[in-house]
Amino acid sequence: MADAARAQPRTPAPFRVGPALLVLGLGVLGLAGTVANLAMLLPAGGWWAAMVRPDASVPVQLLAAYSFAPRLVVSLLAGAALGLAGAILQQVLRNPIASPTTLGIESGANLALSSALIWMPGLLDFGREWVTLTGGLLAIAVVLLLSRRSGFAPLVVILAGMVAGLYCASLAALLALFESHYLAGLFLWGAGSLSLQGWEEPLFLAPRLAIAALAAALLLRPLALLGMEDAQTRSLGLSVGMVRLAALLVAVALTAFVVASVGCIGFIGLAAPALARIAGARRIGAWLLASAATGAALLWATDQMVQVAAGVYAQMIPTGAVTALFGAPLLLWIIPRLRLPPAAAGSLAVRLGQSAGRPGRRLLLLGALLLLALTVSSLLGPDPLGSNLGGWSLALPGDPSAVWTLRLPRAVAALAGGTLLAVAGCVLQRLTRNPMASPEVMGVSAGAAGGLTVAIFLIAETSRLEQTLAASLGAFLALIVLLLVARVSKANPERIILAGIAVGALLDALVSVLMASGDPRAILLFNWMTGSTYGLDTSAAGASLLAALALLALLPLVRRWLGLLPLGEDTARALGMPLGAGRLLLLMLAAVATALATLLVGPLSFVGLVAPHAARLLGLRRPLSELYGAALIGALILVTADFLGRTVAFPWQMPAGLVASMIGAPAFLWLLSRKQVLA
């Protein structure tokens, strides 16, 4: 037996770069960028003297000493802090997708500081780090509370974190819209700008990060024990709850300090631990150290490349946006190489079976509610003429003021957008057999918005048809990327979600870079991305309604495919479904529906995620009844959101997409807490 075993060919070990070599490679890139940037500032030979003893009469020496040098130090400190925070979160939660971004910590800290800057600036007298720490702790507390019933299952934790993070981002965007005089500053700071004018930020970060790093070092052995099962850990006398709480506090503190200093730089906390593990770091101490070093080198190299580009194009580009812009493709490369825990496929399947009771009655009730909401939204609202400010007016068809002709197109466009998003969400969930699939979570809405963004900035004047084609192409490409990842990873849900995060990060980075460029079209793009239906005329609303009705008319043609796909490929093929052609057509259907909806209500709503689950909770589980039920629910949500956006803060207008996200996100988180989503 031994001879036979020795005779067997050995499988070659996978090639590993090694953590030290990885950090060295990134460091060489950062050093090359540093040299290039210094060469643009000063002649060679005087660099060190200029940064240590600058001549006050030479402006470039002052720039090197009080802008370039502190920025370099902050990039190293912030990158190390985020890399270490991401590694701690992954170890504590036993979740390789955990990071300050995917758990909503950064968004919570960002929202807390934005709110304090606008409404309670006096709180900053106690220290801005306490404000961001409070926001980050509240965000992760909500995430852990919602995922407690599932035993902190990785998918549930990440889903709760993503939705909580998007919800905080939506609220921050709403603050920016209402406080327009803060818009540019808040946006650039929130995108992670490392531009500095002195040594205040390095001196702010260094001692706080040193204390947090010392706390992490003291927790090293308990963190190593957390890699075992809880029962084994408790048998060794370790208080699992206390250790997790202390480690989470350290990770949140590291993130909060960085957000308080330079804003959100989200990709580093996810990529650095993954790169360190792929490079070969396995022992907990070596992995934490390698994650911190990789994060520092990665942010250093990225920031130096940003400065090289800024020197060429004379634009101030947020480094945090560029880390996502370059990091998302790297993350897509990392995804198939991550070692993930086996997913409980049975617990993630979309519910099938007969619809409960009589689905026709439920659909009729939903239709009646939608008709009522459409009528109220079109006819009732605050007095727009200012004669009775704060009062309400009823504008009937034929009214001389013709107010209803202004309200009706917006309500119809919201109805169409909600219908299209809900149908796209249903199709994606059944196509991927993943209840977390939706245009928003999987980055399909981001792809549509990205396609539209590129078209707006490349073409001087774009027609409605060109915008639709560009958005459809972007959504289709995003879906193709996600399905390629699903094919390579054998439909592992964590990998698909991670790919959706990467695609969404690309859009956020692209918009942040364009916003920083100062182009006036960027402000218009930001307003559109919030999901405002303002400005839609009757022809556009009518065309969107026709598109939604045409989509609903096509659904009976694909209901058999949507009923077979959740049963598995082999079963679907055995029952005569053309898998290749069927999937392609369903992909195109979802892409076009998402693109049209994104043009109407932006990419920020949660309708495509919430509506299918709400339909199944009502007992509508057969393909056609689920699709039509979700369409009615999605339309109802967005019509209601548009009405609330026009009336709650009158005379100011809140975009329907943002209002829908504020309705849909809490609803979905509530469903998640009741274990109704992963059923």
Please give the average per-residue pLDDT across 665-675, as a whole number.
Answer: 69
Residues 457 and 519 in one domain: yes
Averaged pLDDT, 135-144? 90
Same domain as 169, residue 271: yes
Q: What is the CATH number of the domain that holds 555?
A: 1.10.3470.10
pLDDT, greater one: 309 or 8: 309
Q: Residue 292's pLDDT band (boundaries 50, 70, 90)?
A: very high
Q: Are residues 364 and 321 in the same domain?
A: no
Q: What is the mean pLDDT of residues 86-103?
A: 87
From residue 157, how far is each of 21, 147, 224, 250, 269 by CA, in Å? Answer: 33, 6, 21, 19, 16
pLDDT of residue 506: 73
Are 326 and 363 contained in the same domain?
A: no
Residues in the chain: 679
Average pLDDT over residues 76-87: 94
Quick one: average pLDDT of 218-225? 87
What lies within 8 Å, CB to CB, of 165 at 6+ separation is: 101, 102, 103, 104, 106, 107, 108, 139
The pLDDT, as a whole number, for residue 203 is 92
> Which range among 154-168, 312-326, 655-669 shows the weakest confidence by mean pLDDT?
312-326
**pLDDT confidence of residue 632:** 94
Which residue would you say has higher pLDDT here, 90 or 118?
90
Domain co-membership, 428 together with 529: yes
Please, which pLDDT band fits residue 490 given cuts at 50, 70 and 90?
Answer: low
Task: Indicate the pLDDT class of residue 431, thresholds 50, 70 and 90.
Answer: confident
Q: Give yes or no: residues 136 and 263 share one domain.
A: yes
Mean pLDDT of 7-30: 69
> Closest by alpha carbon to 446, among 591, 253, 311, 301?
591
Q: Is the pLDDT of residue 473 over 80?
A: yes
Q: Is the dihedral of CA 453, 458, 464, 466 positive or negative?
A: negative
Residue 659 or 402, more confident: 659
**321 and 435: one domain?**
no
What the block records as the tokens of 650 is 């009158």
- Domain-located, residue 9: no
Q: Specify whether the CB–CB gap between 403 and 384 falls below 8 A.
A: yes
My answer on whether 560 and 423 are in the same domain is: yes
Closest CA to 528 of 648, 606, 458, 448: 448
Residue 333 lies in a domain: yes
The per-residue pLDDT for range 37-55, each reduced to its tens digit, is 888 877 766 777 777 777 7
Asked if residue 81 has pLDDT above 90, the reply is yes
Quote the pLDDT of residue 676: 46
- To the nearest whole number, what is the mean pLDDT of the chain? 77
Number of domains composing the chain: 2
Rounded to an integer, the average pLDDT of 565-580 is: 76
**DSSP letters of 102-119?**
TTTHHHHHHHHHHHHHHT
Mean pLDDT of 67-85: 92
Condensed to tens digits (0 to 9), the pLDDT of residues 164-188 reads: 887 887 777 777 666 655 545 555 5
298-311: average pLDDT: 84
Lowest mean pLDDT among 20-24, 264-268, 651-655: 651-655
Query: What was the pLDDT predicted at 666?
Result: 79
pLDDT score of 14:
45
- Whether 3 is in a domain gets the answer no
Q: What is the pLDDT of residues 514-559, one digit of tens each?
A: 666 666 666 666 666 666 666 677 777 788 889 899 989 988 888 8
CB 83 within 8 A of CB 291: yes
In a domain, 270, yes or no: yes
331 belongs to a structural domain: yes
Helix (H) or strand (E) holding 247: helix 240-262
Residue 411 and residue 264 share a domain: no
The pLDDT tens digits for 253-263 are 999 999 888 88
Whether 321 and 468 map to the same domain: the answer is no
Comparing 55-69, 173-187, 360-374, 654-668, which segment has the lowest mean pLDDT?
173-187
More confident residue, 678 or 299: 299
Question: How far, in Å, CA of 485 to CA of 265, rounded?
Answer: 25
Report the distance separating Cα 631 and Cα 366, nearest Å.
Answer: 10
In a domain, 604, yes or no: yes
Range of the domain at 204: 19-41+54-231+238-338
Say if residue 146 is in the same domain as residue 268.
Answer: yes
pLDDT of 377-408, one tens digit each?
887 777 655 544 446 667 666 665 556 677 78
Inter-axis angle of helices 359-379 and 404-432, nearest 10? 150
Residue 459 within a domain = yes
Is 156 part of any domain?
yes
Predicted local confidence at residue 355, as pLDDT: 52
Q: What is the mean pLDDT of residues 415-443?
A: 83
Tell which of 307, 338, 369 closes a domain: 338
Please check whether residues 102 and 218 belong to one and the same domain.
yes
